[in-house]
Every structure is written in structure tokens, then in C-alpha cells.
């Protein structure tokens, strides 16, 4: 059985659906092929314990960009956001340190700890804004160039020259340095309160495969606080209904534009003819002919599993193999019989609408990173957790709650052998103990727990290495993307094949921006050439 479409999109994840919806809206015949039994990819919700929904992704993250919200009418299709109210670090003395989306409010909160740090926080945000302006030309990449030429590594410096004119020389050099600094050293330079430094770094490093004192981590702070220009719309928050609800609304948008989604349709092969993609083959034997094929899988999954490797150049395969996807984020979901009691935070406090941390110093974070690097189970895991059922009643029965715990620096390549139930149980215990230290009676409320290691995420969602951002966001991969310049701009080195996964420009996080940007590139390529 052969179906004919204009665009076949592999994977019904956030970016796949976004690209599909844009292209369908543009009048193309689009079909999305999802191997699972529901849409959502890495962002799908699951009901593992009866009555409780465990959203897969779900720490406070960047909201979907306003332009996508607007273009795809997601609000009409049921999407709702809960803006994050604060980020909190609970300290062992029963106190808490909170920072807020509003800079002024945060400054006044920090004043209680240190006047100096409060002012430094204000100036740090200025620095981050400057840096965002500086980084913009790099993030914008060479989208405008359609020629497939070898990139000039000095090209970004030419853009810097333009920035010098716009920004002032000294500020520009400061930004350049910030981009290669370690977050730990940068924070040590700004602040004196250890908990504040760990508080800012603890969230910024979520998902990263680097430690606080690894060079080049400073820019992660800009991202976590939402200072990049493309983040300026929408702020930071949670999707009501979990990330799965976001995918649902995208699917509805896709349908409304006449696009189609086929579930349980695992693509086994991308068809090639004369070096151009001509369609896909499903593992149950169906073929779909498509003039354009788009993969929302990561680079490794796309090229190493969907192709006859003989049809690709060895040098290219080598480059694909070199892409680093060492996942570092694990996740634990906890079903709770009632709202846990945290003496540091009253039950009705707005601080519940936020991510909480416990790690007190940067060195503790660094130790957690070392464990990951050394391939051992975290001895003192760094966790970021929230209780989304407090602000989203769709996730748990009335009065009951769901807690999501993200374990940063969880390795999947344990030296002492793969994760088994016993090791997982021990880690869960460690995490629960940590939380229980701040919440008397916490353990008695637990009805069910589930731990997902990066490997589980890989198995469940086909993410290489379980890396939620489809590849490490280190500068050698991100800013220069030298190995894959064209891939970073969505065009694969194979005719008619595009990538739209979150590893592509502009990378990472629940943004759907990669899907949007891929759709724009594809749309431009599909537009009839105008001859003058």
C-alpha cells in the first residue's frame, strides 16, 4: 500500500508536530508518523499509577513562543500556561531562598541575605541582557544563506565587529568572555552567598552534561532565566495538563489545517533515489511517497537507524557518531496521598508554583557532576522538584498530588553494571530521604514512585543517550555547529531531507522553536523558484 503526500514527518514530538502544523497551514499535504500509540514523543503524559498523570517533561521551562501560540492558534486548541511564580532553595535550617521572575522583587528578596549580592543580582541581569544581544547573531546562524558552502569559522567574528559598533567595544569583549566562562567562576565573581550561587546554577545546569565549574557553562544562566531574545516572549512556566497537553493542542491545530497523524507507524527506512529522499517505509511494510521528508528525531537516530549506512559517506557517518549525546537528567515521579508539609513554605504560598532545590553549594553540584562523569550513581543527588498538581488539578484526584523530581547528573553508563530495580530503589530512597529532611511525614504520603534514567528515556522515546535536548548544548556543538553546519539549519546533506528535532537551531528546551524554524526553511525551499 502506497500513500502519496507532500511532506512526511517522522516523530510526533513537539517539534515534529509544530513543523507539521506550519506546513499543513501552508497548504501542503502532511502526514506525521509516530511509532508510539499517542502523540507527544518525549513530551507525552502517561498514567502509570491509576488516577495520577505523570507529565514526562515538566520543570518550569520556557513557554512556547508567542509567535507559535499565535500562528497555530494553540490557545483555541486548548493550550494553557501556568507562569512560574518563583524558584526556591530550601535550606537545612528551615529557611528558604526564593528568586522571582521579576528582577526588582528578587533584588529585594536577596537584600535579606546580602546587600551586596542584591545589587550584584541586578547587575548580573544587565549582563545577561547584554549577552543576549551579543549572542543573537550567533544563534541566528546563517539561516539566510541557502548555498551549501563550507562555513567560515571567522564569520561569527565579522558579526562581532558589527556588534562592536552597536554595543561598545568593552561590553562586547565582556560578553565574549562570558560565553566561554564557567558558570561557577562567574557566580563566584558576582556573589558571596553560597546558597544563592547554587540556587542559580542548580537550575541553569538542568539537562546539561557539564558541571558548574566546566568552562562555557555561564551562558546557560541566560537561558534558564529566559534572557535570550527569542525567549523574551512568554516567560517561564508550566503547561496546564502537562507537556502532553501541549502536544494535544498541536495535534488539534494540525488536524484543523488538514494534516494527518498516523500512530503506531514506525518508520524503518528513508527511501533514497539518486541521493534524494523520496519517501519512507514503515516497519509493517507500508510505503509513503513524499517529495519532502522531515525527521524530528535526533541526528544519530535519523542517520544511524533510518538509513542503509552504505548509502551514506563514511566521513559523514563518522561525524554523526561524534555527536555527543551523554544524557544527564533522570526523573522520578511520585504519587502522593496528600499535600506534603514543608515547614519552610506555607501550604497556600505562591512559592508552590515553582521549582524547588536543596543543593546548598556549588561544590556540592560539582560533586554530583563528578559522580556522573565517574559513572557512578549519585551519592548526593542534585534534585529539582515541583508539585504540579498544586496548580494543575488535571494531574491527580482531588486532594492527592503528583510530585516530579528531576535528578540532574544521573549517568546511564554505570561502571558497576546497568541500572536494575535494586539500584533504582536505592536511588529513589536517597531522593526521598533528601526531601523528607525538609518535609516531616513525607515518606508516609508516598503511594507510588517511578524512576526514569536517561536510558529509560532513550528506550521510551528514542532519544540517543536519553539526552532531552537531542545532544549536549556545549559551544562546540551549539554555536559553531561546525560538523553539521547545514544540519543545524535543518537541511540534511541529502536532498529533500530535513531535520527539525530539538538538536537543531535554535536548540533545546520545550520551545517548539526548532519545528517552527524548520518549517520556515522547508517552506522557503518548497516555494516555486522565481526566475527574473
Question: Binding to other proteins (CB under 8 A): which residues in 429-458?
Answer: none
| C-alpha span between 236 and 223 (Å, rounded) | 10
Query: Interface mask (CB under 8 A) for other proteins, residues 69-108, using x and -?
Result: -------------------------xxxxx-x---xxxxx
Residue position matching grid coordinates 494527518: 260
| C-alpha span between 193 and 127 (Å, rounded) | 19
Residue 52 forms beta bridges with which residues?
A: 49
Q: How far is CA 498 from CA 221, 337, 384, 487, in A?
A: 30, 46, 35, 8
Q: Which is nearer to other proteins, 215 or 526 (CB)?
A: 215
By CB under 8 A, tell whether 67 contacts other proteins.
no
Residues near 145 by beta carbon (within 8 Å), at least 6 away in sequence = none
By CB under 8 A, tell whether 172 contacts other proteins.
yes
By CB under 8 A, tell whether 233 contacts other proteins.
no
Sort residue 509 into left (φ over 0), alpha (ψ -120 to 50) or beta.
left
Q: Which is nearer to other proteins, 425 or 476 (CB)?
A: 476
Query: How large is the angle between the packed helices 14-25 and 242-256, nearest 10 degrees?
Result: 20
- According to CB under 8 A, which residues from 287 to 316 bind other proteins? 315
Minimum distance of other proteins from residue 187's CB (angstroms)? 11
| C-alpha span between 471 and 463 (Å, rounded) | 9
Question: Do 7 and 508 form a contact (C-beta atoms < 8 A)?
Answer: no
Q: Which is nearer to other proteins, 390 or 512 (CB)?
A: 390
Size of the residue set binding other proteins (CB under 8 A): 77
Q: Which is nearer to other proteins, 86 or 246 (CB)?
A: 86
The piece of 280-288, 295-303, 381-389, 478-486 that touches other proteins (CB under 8 A) is 478-486
Question: Contact with other proteins (CB under 8 A): which of 48, 66, 180, 338?
Answer: 180
Measured torsion, CA atoms of residues 511, 516, 517, 522, in degrees rounded to the nearest 10: 150
Q: Which is nearer to other proteins, 111 or 256 (CB)?
A: 111
Question: Contact with other proteins (CB under 8 A): which of 216, 278, 295, 453?
Answer: 216
The piece of 56-64, 181-189, 233-241, 393-401 that touches other proteins (CB under 8 A) is 181-189
Question: Contact with other proteins (CB under 8 A): which of 67, 92, 123, 429?
Answer: 123
Half-sphere exposure of 458 (CA within 13 A, CB side): 18
Query: Interface mask (CB under 8 A) for other proteins, residues 183-202, using x and -?
Result: --x--xx-------------
By CB under 8 A, tell whether 284 contacts other proteins.
no
Question: Contact with other proteins (CB under 8 A): which of 26, 83, 475, 495?
Answer: 475
Which DSSP helix (H) or strand (E) runs through 160? Answer: helix 155-167
Peptide bond into 292 cis (omega under 30): no
Question: Contact with other proteins (CB under 8 A): which of 80, 139, 176, 281?
Answer: 176
Minimum distance of other proteins from residue 115's CB (angstroms)? 5
Minimum distance of other proteins from residue 454's CB (angstroms)? 18
By CB under 8 A, tell whether 382 contacts other proteins.
no
- Tell me the three state secondary structure of residue 11: coil
Q: Which is nearer to other proteins, 164 or 426 (CB)?
A: 164
Number of H helices, E strands in the chain: 18, 19
- According to CB under 8 A, which residues from 319 to 378 bind other proteins? 322, 324, 343-346, 349-350, 363, 366-367, 370, 373-374
- According to CB under 8 A, which residues from 244 to 263 bind other proteins? none
By CB under 8 A, tell whether 161 contacts other proteins.
yes
Question: Which letter, b or e, does each residue of 315-350 get, where b requires 16 or more Cβ atoms within 10 Å of its Cβ?
Answer: eeeebbeebebbbbbbbbbbbbeebbebebbeeebe
By CB under 8 A, tell whether 154 contacts other proteins.
yes
By CB under 8 A, tell whether 126 contacts other proteins.
yes
Minimum distance of other proteins from residue 41's CB (angstroms)? 27
The piece of 159-167, 252-260, 443-451, 514-522 that touches other proteins (CB under 8 A) is 159-167
Query: How large is the angle between the packed helices 103-111 and 115-139, nearest 10 degrees?
Result: 150
Q: Which is nearer to other proteins, 241 or 503 (CB)?
A: 503
Question: Do 107 and 122 form a contact (C-beta atoms < 8 A)?
Answer: yes
Q: How far is CA 256 from CA 284, 315, 513, in A?
A: 28, 42, 20
Amino acid at each position: 500500500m502506497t500513500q502519496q503526500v507532500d511532506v512526511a514527518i517522522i516523530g510526533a514530538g513537539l517539534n515534529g508536530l509544530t513543523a507539521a502544523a506550519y506546513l499543513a497551514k501552508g497548504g501542503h499535504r502532511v502526514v506525521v508518523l509516530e511509532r508510539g500509540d499517542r502523540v507527544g514523543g518525549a513530551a507525552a503524559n502517561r498514567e502509570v499509577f491509576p488516577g495520577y498523570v505523570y507529565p514526562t517533561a515538566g520543570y518550569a521551562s520556557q513557554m512556547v513562543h508567542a509567535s507559535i501560540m499565535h500562528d497555530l492558534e494553540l490557545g483555541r486548541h486548548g493550550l494553557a500556561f501556568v507562569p512560574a511564580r518563583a524558584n526556591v532553595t530550601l535550606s537545612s535550617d528551615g529557611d528558604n531562598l526564593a528568586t522571582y521572575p521579576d528582577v526588582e522583587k528578587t533584588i529585594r528578596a536577596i537584600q535579606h541575605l546580602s546587600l551586596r549580592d542584591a545589587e550584584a543580582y541586578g547587575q548580573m541581569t544587565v549582563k545577561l541582557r547584554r549577552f543576549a544581544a551579543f549572542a543573537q547573531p550567533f544563534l541566528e546562524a546563517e539561516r539566510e544563506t541557502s548555498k551549501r558552502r563550507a562555513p567560515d569559522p571567522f564569520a561569527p567574528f565579522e558579526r562581532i565587529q558589527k556588534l562592536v559598533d552597536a554595543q561598545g567595544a568593552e561590553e562586547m569583549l565582556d560578553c565574549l568572555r562570558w560565553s566561554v566562562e564557567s558558570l561557577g567562576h562567574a557566580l563566584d565573581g558576582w556573589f558571596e552567598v553560597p546558597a544563592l550561587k547554587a540556587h542559580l546554577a542548580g537550575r541553569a545546569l538542568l539537562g546539561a552534561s557539564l558541571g558548574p565549574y566546566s568552562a562555557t557553562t555561564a551562558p546557560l544562566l541566560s537561558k534558564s532565566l529566559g534572557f535570550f531574545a527569542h525567549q523574551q516572549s512568554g516567560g517561564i512556566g508550566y503547561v496546564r495538563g502537562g507537556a502532553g497537553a501541549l502536544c494535544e493542542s498541536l495535534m488539534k491545530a494540525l488536524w484543523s489545517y488538514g494534516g494527518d497523524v498516523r500512530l503506531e507507524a514506525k518508520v524503518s527506512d528513508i527511501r533514497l533515489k539518486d541521493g534524494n529522499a523520496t519517501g519512507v517505509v514503515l516497519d509493517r511494510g507500508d510505503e509513503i511517497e513524499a517529495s519532502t521528508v522531515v525527521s524530528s528525531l535526533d541526528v544519530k537516530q535519523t542517520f544511524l537507524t533510518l538509513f542503509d549506512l552504505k548509502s551514506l559517506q563514511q566521513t559523514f557517518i563518522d561525524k554523526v557518531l561524534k555527536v555527543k549525546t551523554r544524557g544527564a537528567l533522570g526523573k522520578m515521579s511520585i504519587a502522593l496521598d496528600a499535600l506534603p508539609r514543608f515547614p519552610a513554605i506555607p501550604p497556600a504560598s505562591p512559592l508552590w508554583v515553582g521549582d524547588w532545590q536543596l543543593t546548598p553549594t556549588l561544590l556540592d553540584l560539582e560533586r554530583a557532576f563528578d559522580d556522573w562523569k565517574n559513572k557512578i550513581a549519585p551519592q548526593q543527588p542534585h534534585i529539582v522538584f515541583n508539585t504540579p498538581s498544586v496548580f494543575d488539578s488535571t494531574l491527580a484526584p482531588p486532594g492527592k498530588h503528583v510530585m516530579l523530581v528531576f535528578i540532574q547528573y544521573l549517568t546511564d553508563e554505570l561502571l558497576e553494571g546497568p541500572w536494575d530495580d535494586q539500584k533504582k530503589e536505592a536511588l529513589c530512597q536517597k531522593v526521598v530521604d533528601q526531601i523528607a529532611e525538609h518535609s516531616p511525614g513525607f515518606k508516609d504520603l508516598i503511594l507510588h514512585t517511578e524512576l526514569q534514567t536517561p536510558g529509560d528515556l532513550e528506550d521510551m522515546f528514542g532519544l540517543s543517550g536519553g539526552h532531552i535536548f537531542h545532544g549536549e548544548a556545549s559551544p562546540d556543538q551549539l554555536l559553531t555547529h561546525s560538523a553539521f553546519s547545514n544540519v543545524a539549519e535543518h537541511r540534511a546533506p541529502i536532498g529533500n531531507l530535513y531535520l527539525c528535532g530539538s538538536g537543531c537551531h535554535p536548540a533545546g528546551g520545550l520551545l517548539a522553536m526548532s519545528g517552527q524554524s524548520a518549517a520556515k526553511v522547508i517552506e522557503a525551499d518548497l516555494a516555486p523558484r522565481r526566475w527574473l
